[in-house]
Amino acid sequence: MASLNVSLSFFFATFVLCQAARRACKALLPAGAYASFAREAVGAAQLGACCLEMRMLAELGPWAGGFGPDLLLTLLTLLFLVHGATCDGAAANPTVSLQDFLLAEASVPRTLLKLAAQGLGVRAACALTRLYWAWELCDLHVLQNLLDPHCSSPLRTPVSHGALVEGAGAFLLHLTLLRLRNSLPAYRVPAVALLATVMTHTAGPFTSAFFNPALATWATFHCSGHTLLEYMQVYWLGPLTGMVLAVLLYHGRLPRLFQRNLLYSQKNKYRTPRGKPAPGPRDTQTPAEGCRSREPGRGGAGQPLPGPR
């Protein structure tokens, strides 16, 4: 239990420090700089630090700490809930930022700035988390500190299958985000947290379930077992493909590239009522003509009315 208490203290300190950093950046920086860079950097650092510590618990906890899957899944769900409630709208994921770009909701400079901030945030989180492990405050951190320089590949399946797993997870995640993007946070955050927990539990044995190119780059690309190109196919190409397919399926098009709907036919919701055709120029009558047509002794069509026999 000492290892669990140390990890819980780490999570609590991470959330407190990141929340303080958000408030400081919001007070000191312009709104645009905070939204495009500082918020993304802090959100990515928070997510990266928590995911690295949680990954250590998932890999070493069952056999070195006696942690069961029920404890790990509960802790993972709580972490996703707290992150979603405190991230202040940060994407903390390059595929989410690129999704906003494909939806024509973000410009090229702003998207590039967010991607750079996310990469820097995750890199800082990796450095600080490894520094925390070096203090060796518990047995699990001692083991992790010994194993980290000689880490093995988290990809425990063929490359094509790993890319499919990461792509399918990203597809479900982005489809859920698109469906709930206008929902209240009280509904959106728990739904996304539960989905992320289920996907992590399902895909974890195959690819460690990152679904985040920035996090996967700094956490796994230095590990032996696969080449850089193979890592890029699984952890970059897979999630990006899943994101593009989710946007295409949800909207029927990629708004940044196509104005015409590629999948769904657009039917006019205003139907023309079926009835008599509209009168033409020859069928219209002036008021004077209408009066003349109703003169005594004349029929409606200019014929004499039948008299008494």
Residue 283 lies in a domain: no
- The pTM score is 0.83
Q: For residue 113, what are the contacts with CB-CB under 8 A and spacing of at least 6?
A: 36, 37
Residue 80 lies in a domain: yes
Residue 154 lies in domain: 1-251
pLDDT greater than 60 at residue 275 = no
Q: Specify the CATH number for the domain of residue 7.
A: 1.20.1080.10
Residue 294 lies in a domain: no
Residue 269 lies in a domain: no
* Domains: count for the chain: 1
Residue 301 lies in a domain: no
Q: Which pLDDT belongs to residue 274? A: 60
What span, in angstroms and rounded, lies between the C-alpha atoms of 92 and 48? 9
304 forms beta bridges with 298
Residue 265 pLDDT class (50, 70, 90 cuts): confident
What span, in angstroms and rounded, lies between the C-alpha atoms of 63 and 113? 42
Residue 274 lies in a domain: no
What span, in angstroms and rounded, lies between the C-alpha atoms of 204 and 182? 30
Encode 234-263: b = buried (16+ Cβ within 10 Å), e = exposed: bbbebbbbbbbbbbeebbbbeeeeeeeeee
- The contacts found for 181-185 with CB under 8 angstroms, 24 or more apart, are 185/84, 185/85
**Longest CA–CA separation in the chain, Å:** 122
Residue 308 lies in a domain: no
Residue 266 pLDDT class (50, 70, 90 cuts): low
What span, in angstroms and rounded, lies between the C-alpha atoms of 126 and 218? 7
Residue 272 pLDDT class (50, 70, 90 cuts): low
What span, in angstroms and rounded, lies between the C-alpha atoms of 165 and 208? 10
What span, in angstroms and rounded, lies between the C-alpha atoms of 42 and 128? 13
Residue 307 lies in a domain: no
